[in-house]
Amino acid sequence: MLPKILISACLMGLPVRYNGSAKPLLHEAVDRWKAEGRLVSLCPELAGGFAVPRPPAEIERAMNGDDVLDGRARVLEVTGGDVTAAYIDGARIALAVARENHCRFALLIDGSPSCGSGFVYDGSFSGRRHAGQGVTAAYLQRNGVEVFSDSEVDFLVEKIAALP
């Protein structure tokens, strides 16, 4: 069976980001996977109950998604709201969707407090970022779904090509 890939909905061109924008990922492999029916599109934040637009949120105190999942950090909106529970709900739904659809891999946009896998912002809403994962990326990864960022499409291509 062809391996399926869970993909951030905003990378598929859907205008679901906090500010109502999309970030379509232009890559030949993504077009091919789409045509092959391999992509399962999901926005963890919408799945967790958020609307568009919504206030931007970051993981507090330069921590990361694993810290949120383990109760050491919260996800806070710029307006001060504690949205931790909804971020964890979105991560759980993302894993359920990945499992239902037999997604072995996830291709997620970097920098997001949900989908980031290489870096996230530090909670100061000043544009400072650090290495770390968002809540959904961390949850998928710890449950056996291999996560790639939007800058790692070529690695995912190689990974799929090397599958037996």
* Binding residues vs ligand SF4 (CB under 6 A): 8-10, 16-17, 43-45, 109, 112, 114-115
**Least spacing, CB of residue 16 vs ligand SF4, in Å:** 5
**Least spacing, CB of residue 21 vs ligand SF4, in Å:** 9
Instruction: Give 105's strand partners.
Output: 5, 146
Q: Tell me the two tokens of residue 121.
A: 């912002």
Give the Cα separation of 127 and 155 in Å (integer): 27
β-bridge pairing 129-131 and 119-121? antiparallel
Using the minimum distance from each CB to ligand SF4, give the nearer residue, 44 or 123. 44
**Closest residue by Cα to residue 86 from 53, 115, 121, 46:** 46
Using the minimum distance from each CB to ligand SF4, give the nearer residue, 73 or 83. 83
Using the minimum distance from each CB to ligand SF4, give the nearer residue, 125 or 161. 125
Using the minimum distance from each CB to ligand SF4, give the nearer residue, 20 or 144. 20
Give the Cα separation of 88 and 46 in Å (integer): 12
**Least spacing, CB of residue 64 vs ligand SF4, in Å:** 15
Q: CA-based diameter of the chain, in Å?
A: 49
**Least spacing, CB of residue 24 vs ligand SF4, in Å:** 11
**CA dihedral (79, 60, 48, 118) positive or negative:** positive
Question: How many residues are there in the chain?
Answer: 164
**Least spacing, CB of residue 162 vs ligand SF4, in Å:** 27
Using the minimum distance from each CB to ligand SF4, give the nearer residue, 17 or 38. 17
Burial class (CB in 10 A: 0-12, 13-18, 19+), 142: middle
